[in-house]
Structure 1
Amino acid sequence: MHASFTRLLEASGGKLTQEELARRIGEQAQTITNWKRRGVSKSGALKGAAAFGVSANWILQGGQPYEHMDVTQVKGWDSSTPVDDDEVEIPFYKDVLISCGNGSFSEVVGNETRKLRLSKSTLRKYGVSEFNAYALTAFGDSMSPIINSGATVYVDVGRTNITDGKIYAISHGGLFKFKFLYRMPKGGVRIVSANKEEYPEESLTAEQIMDQEFCVVAYAFNVQNPLP
């Protein structure tokens, strides 16, 4: 059993079955089996950290499980903060760039977590739990004009089941990207860019999904594009 998987089990309390663990962090059971042999992926560590209140770095590398935590669950602003009652504070990974192009490696863990305000009414509108909401920065032009380079994208890490034609943050071979996703027969997936002329779509079979370490990290439910 890989050491990172052992730490993930420890973080969960050590009593969950692999199926229960998969449901708890929104992953497929087969993905959990792969982690047991190969180690937990960075996106998986991010989800595990959010679910169990430990450091994603600790899941991946060991050390201190509760110091310098990389993921902070969303919580309401405390009473001393002058914000509206309808607002909550969500983690903002401003320096974690999610590719909207061909992709480049983004170190999801080990970055400073900043905060953004988001209204509870917005979360209710999109059916997002405040404990699953995060903000990420996009770059590249493959999803333009829907998501432009430098946009702040709000995501729901609790929603990873694919709905055809929706935009998701994905991890594909260690690269993190925003893409349209479509389900294919026998467990396959189509990965589609908005800028189709420059970025042709990709199709993965169920076997390729496993071999290429593809997984859905989060559902993108809102975006704030920068001004030109």
Structure 2
Amino acid sequence: MQICKKIREIRGNESQSSFAERFGITARTLQNYEYGNTSPSIDFIQKISQEYDIAPEYFFDYGEKLFRNSSAIVPQYSSSMQKKGSSISKTNITHTNSSPQTLNDDFVSIPFYEDVRASAGSGAYNEAEAAEQLNFPKSFLRQYFGIISFANLSIIIGSGDSMFPTLPENCYLVIQQGNVKEGEICVARIEDELYVKRLQKLPKLKLFSDNKVYEPIELEGKNFEIIGRVVGYFKKTSL
């Protein structure tokens, strides 16, 4: 369902003028939103989401269900990821396009590797290709994940508890290939397996789990590659 139709459905029988006034916009602006003439602002999406207890992601092609539990989807800013991986099944996320496929000036399409899942500890081996593209407003990615560049993004599913409490189980991880700074959560390849861990560069190159039950992984002497950083996550549940 298109965003314009979702807004119209939520408004129900309330008049456009009354509905628009409640959210600080004009009736004409609401009409443009509902007719699909203009894209709704992130401020409007945030307000309507809070008012009706709907996750903002509902409006952006993550599915057709409303998520009424506000804790069901919890975006994290990239800065929060720097404070403190679970392993991941093998995939070809290193071969995503250097520039994203754009739908228009406001949206970006990100490859989603549905079969790639994090596992606590040793990791699984799977060959996987991007099953689909998930569409995001650029303003949403800036607001919730602090993303400035939209190149080299991909999404995988994380499960297991080696990065708990920073990353919950069964969450969608947004990954950006490129340089990873000290202390950031990264995706690293060791031999034929991928891991989501926190990177330590000094005094020795190591990968750490936020769940202290798991031992650090030393990278020196291993065949490894630091692929990119986890810029955030979202969590999705059904009613």
TM range (shorter): 0.5 to 0.7
| Alpha-carbon distance in 2 for matches of 1:204, 1:94 | 28
When residues 165 and 119 of structure 1 are mapped into structure 2, their CA distance, relative to the original with a 3 A threshold, is same
Larger radius of gyration: 2
Is 2:116 the counterpart of 1:96? yes
| Alpha-carbon distance in 2 for matches of 1:191, 1:121 | 32
* Residue pair 1:174, 1:213 contacting (<8 A) in 2 also: no
Candidates 149, 152, 158, aligned match of 2:172: 152
TM-score (norm 1): 0.56
TM-score (norm 2): 0.54
What code does the residue aligned with 1:181 have? L
* Percent sequence identity over aligned pairs: 26
SS of 2:117's partner is: strand
* Residue pair 1:100, 1:177 contacting (<8 A) in 2 also: no
Q: How far does the alpha carbon of each residue in 1:97-148 deviate from its partner, in whole angstroms, 9 at most, with x for none?
A: 233432122324xx34212122212444534432311111112110112222
* Equivalences for residues 1-228 of structure 1 within 5 A: 46-48=93-95, 50-51=97-98, 74-77=100-103, 86-108=106-128, 111-124=129-142, 126-157=146-177, 159=178, 161-185=179-203, 188-197=204-213, 199-205=214-220, 208=221, 212-226=222-236
* Residue pair 1:148, 1:226 contacting (<8 A) in 2 also: no
What code does the residue aligned with 2:125 have? F
Q: Which ranges in structure 1 are unaligned for 5 or more consecutive residues?
A: 1-41, 52-72, 79-84
Q: What is the RMSD computed on CA atoms of the aligned residues?
A: 2.6
The equivalent of 1:82 in structure 2 is none
Determine which structure has the larger helix proportion and give its number: 1
SS of 2:116's partner is: strand
| Alpha-carbon distance in 1 for matches of 2:121, 2:236 | 17
The equivalent of 2:83 in structure 1 is none
* Residue pair 1:128, 1:156 contacting (<8 A) in 2 also: no
What code does the residue aligned with 1:107 have? E
| Alpha-carbon distance in 2 for matches of 1:76, 1:196 | 40
What code does the residue aligned with 2:212 have? K
